[in-house]
Amino acid sequence: GQPAYLVAQEDISDFVHASTQLVASIEALEIVLALDLNPALIVRIRDGNILRINNAAEQLFGPIERLPRHAASLFVEVGAFDRLLAKLQTRLNTVSQAEFLTTEGIGFRAAVRSARLTYYESDAIILSIADITELHRVNAVLEAELNSERAMNEVRSRLLAIAAHDLRTPLAIIDSSAQFLARRANAIEPTILAKRANQIRAAVRSLTKLFDQTIERARDRRGLTFARTKHDLVSMI
């Protein structure tokens, strides 16, 4: 019946050590976010809510208070965020590309590096976003130029094939007339000689014209063009 204290002792060294490590890791993460020049977001996996953004992300998307709660709203393409989460189910980190919208509603393409982590006892992911819009545009221009060059090479190859085929007719005329003149050299009539000579000259002119057209087209690197003009479609039909 006397007032007393019950004192119990429990070793919490492991718990204190784990808590200290957790605080240290979160502090290190905060430092990394502050120093990272690329926009970065921390998103909770359970509900997709944005938990933290760094200064670069705030400049790009606006302050976290004005952001939509769900990170999927930042993606232009519907389902892009869900696909990213699905990839992280089987790996700790991943790299992908996605389209985003800025606070001004301007879309841009970005390379997204994502990794899973624990943020204040919540399963979360960190998204690091690098704008690759200009790189994507340059690649598209280079690919278009490469396709155009391939098309031009194909056109030139076809022109040369057609020219090689069309060369045979005037060459055959020249050869036939030359053989005729060789066989009848001593007894050929002036009218026949003039006729055969005219045939040879006409074939040579045809060859010259064909050569000029082929060389001119083969040198043309601009590709096929079109003249855009307005027409009354109803009257044309």
pLDDT in tens, 182-195: 777 777 788 887 88
Residue 148 has pLDDT above 70, yes or no: yes
Per-residue pLDDT, 65 = 83
Cα gap 9→173, rounded to integer Å: 116
Mean pLDDT of the chain: 78
For the segment 110-124, the average pLDDT, to the nearest whole number, is 82
Residue 52 has pLDDT above 80, yes or no: yes
| Tokens of residue 123, six digits | 């399963």
Cα gap 207→83, rounded to integer Å: 63
Cα gap 178→230, rounded to integer Å: 54
Residue 76 has pLDDT above 80, yes or no: yes
Per-residue pLDDT, 15 = 58
Per-residue pLDDT, 190 = 81
Give the dihedral of Cα atoms 184, 188, 193, 196; nearest 10 deg.
-40
Residue 57 pLDDT level (bands cut at 50, 70, 90): confident
**Tokens 């050869």 map to which residue?**
175
What is the pTM (predicted TM-score) of this model? 0.47
- Residues of the chain with pLDDT > 90, as a percent, come to 0
Residue 235 has pLDDT above 80, yes or no: yes
For the segment 131-136, the average pLDDT, to the nearest whole number, is 76
Residue 8 has pLDDT above 70, yes or no: yes
Residue 4 has pLDDT above 70, yes or no: yes
The β-bridge relationship of strands 122-131 and 93-101 is unpaired
Residue 165 pLDDT level (bands cut at 50, 70, 90): confident
The mean-pLDDT minimum among 43-47, 128-132, 176-180, 214-218 falls in 214-218
Q: Kindly write down the DSSP assignment for every residue of the chain, as one continuous string.
A: ------------HHHHHHHHHHHHHHHHHHHHHHH-SS-EEEEETTT-BEEEE-HHHHHHH--GGGS-SBGGGGBSSTTHHHHHHHHHTS-SEEEEEEEEE-TTS-EEEEEEEEEEEEETTEEEEEEEEEE-HHHHHHHHHHHHHHHHHHHHHHHHHHHHHHHHHHHHHHHHHHHHHHHHHHHTSSS--HHHHHHHHHHHHHHHHHHHHHHHHHHHHHH--S----------HHHH-
- Give the CA distances from residue 180 to residues 163, 164, 192, 195, in Å, rounded to whole numbers and listed in that order: 26, 25, 10, 11
Cα gap 185→179, rounded to integer Å: 10
- Residues of the chain with pLDDT > 70, as a percent, come to 83
